[in-house]
Amino acid sequence: MTCAESEPALTPADQKSPLITLTDVAAEAGVGESTVSRVLRNHGSFSEKTRAKVMAAVEKLGYVPNKIAGALASTGSPLVAIIVPSLSNIVFADVLSGVTKALEAKGHQAVFAVTDYDPAKEEALVAAVLAWRPAAVMLVGLEHTDGTRRMLHASGCRVLELLDIDGEAIDIAVGFSHHEAGRQTAARLLESGYRNIAYVGHDLKHDMRSGKRFAGFLEGLANAGLELAEQEIRDAPSSVSEGRAGLADVLSRGRPIDAVYFSNDDMALGGYFHCLAERISIPDQIALMGFNALDICRHTPQPIASVFTPRIETGRRAAELFLEGAPSQVVDLGFTIVAGATI
């Protein structure tokens, strides 16, 4: 942490000093280039003495190996591409955390992009990241354009599809069944005696997984010979405000409602806030159920009933499977219904 010499007053952009290369280090250490390479990667054989010489030279020159060149010369790439629909939803940030944490321990680098839930944009981004010859591409969900699939197939790199297993996987899929989650949620509400059930959701056009949960939920109701009493599907991404407005809308229609299923916890939290503001008693007058079991909803005055989803675990597991060189497979990490105090 000592820095005896004062830094030059140059802007980083100014100094055009050609960066130190392997060749410089070799010259400084008085050894061959391949020896430096071997020492630095701790690969092959060399004497302790040369090792010291090389390390001294590296230290003295402040050499940082150029991975661009390394990746080109060697066969395998240490890059992993991660493409998520959004970052405003904490769910994807969690997955990203899980992935990067597992990856950086093994010296891999994450290359990152956001699709905004647009399959066409996803295709463009896949093309862009594929140009970096990543060892693996991680995507969210199983729904992709034909072009995306084709490129992925042709690339020859591993493909990890996260957070969904309801469908055909390209290579490896890690997640859980949203359809089943919806179905079990319906069963849970019915079990508690609710019969006049409403749904408040966000745009299922773009978020395919919330659509699958909804379908599963309807199936769960149908199994008991029931239908939804009311439904309100907002034409916007999920948010607290949409959830709040959505519940207000449903209740304004006057039909008796005793439970509401929200497309996720952000929406459910909005509904919860509406009830607080309108002094609607929970769960006596209305029961609320969300999805994801976000930390925030566990600390509301009444914890909101939800479904815990293994998000960080999904990211971590996917990274591990890739690192292990695991064969193509589908990994079901499951989910857990969390009762809370709102049902």
Give residues 127-146 in contact with DNA (rule: CB under 7 A). Answer: none
Part of the chain binding DNA (CB under 7 A), chosen from 2-10, 39-47, 219-227, 327-335: 39-47
Choose among DNA, its own copies, none what residue 31 binds, the Cβ cut-off being 5 to 8 Å by kind: DNA
Distance between CA atoms of 214 and 140, rounded to whole angstroms? 18
Interaction pattern, residues 223-262, with its own copies; x per rule: CB under 8 A? ----------------xxx--x------------------
If one asks whether residue 118 binds its own copies (CB under 8 A), the answer comes out as no
Is residue 273 at the binding interface for its own copies, with CB under 8 A as the rule? yes
| Residue 283 preceded by cis peptide, ω within 30 | yes
d(CA 80, CA 315): 12
Q: Which residues 50-89 are close enough to bind DNA by CB under 7 A?
A: 50, 63, 65-66, 69-70, 72-75
Looking at residues 8 to 37 of the shown chain, list those that interact with its own copies (rule: CB under 8 A).
Answer: 8, 11-13, 15-17, 19
46 lines the binding site for DNA (CB under 7 A): yes
Q: Interface with DNA includes 109 (CB under 7 A)?
A: no
Compute CA distances 47 → 32, 38, 57, whole Å: 13, 11, 16
Figure out which of the listed residues 190, 231, 298, 334 binds its own copies, where binding follows CB under 8 A. Answer: 298
Residue 43 binding DNA, by CB under 7 A: yes
Based on its alpha-carbon atoms, the radius of gyration of the chain, rounded to whole angstroms, reads 26
Residue 16 backbone dihedrals phi, psi, to 5 degrees: -95, 15
Structure tokens at 190: 């019915």
Query: Binding partner of residue 21 among DNA, its own copies, none, CB under 5 to 8 Å per kind?
Result: DNA
Applying CB under 7 A, does 22 fall inside the site for DNA? yes
What does the alpha-carbon distance between residue 195 and residue 287 come to, in Å, rounded to a whole number? 11
Position 284 contacts its own copies (CB under 8 A) = no
When asked if residue 327 is in the footprint of its own copies (CB under 8 A), the reply is yes
Kindly tell me the sign of the dihedral angle through the C-alpha atoms of 172, 113, 333, 260. negative
142 is a contact residue toward its own copies (CB under 8 A): no
Please work out the total of residues on this chain that contact its own copies, with binding judged by CB under 8 A: 83
Selected from 10, 19, 52, 105, the binder of DNA by CB under 7 A is: 19
Q: Give the residue, chosen from 33, 67, 233, 308, that forms a contact with its own copies under the rule CB under 8 A.
A: 67
The CA distance from 219 to 95, in Å, is 28
- Which region, judged by CB under 8 A, interacts with its own copies, from 29-37, 149-157, 191-199, 248-256? 149-157
Site for its own copies in 166-185 (CB under 8 A): 170-171
42 is a site residue for DNA (CB under 7 A): no
| Site membership for its own copies, residue 308 (CB under 8 A) | no
Partner from its own copies, DNA, none contacting 156, C-beta within 5 to 8 A by type: its own copies
Count of beta carbons in the 10 Å neighbourhood of residue 80: 29
Q: Does 100 bind its own copies (CB under 8 A)?
A: yes
Shortest distance, position 117 Cβ to its own copies, whole Å: 13
Return the one option of its own copies, DNA, none that residue 251 interacts with (CB less than 5 to 8 A, by type): none
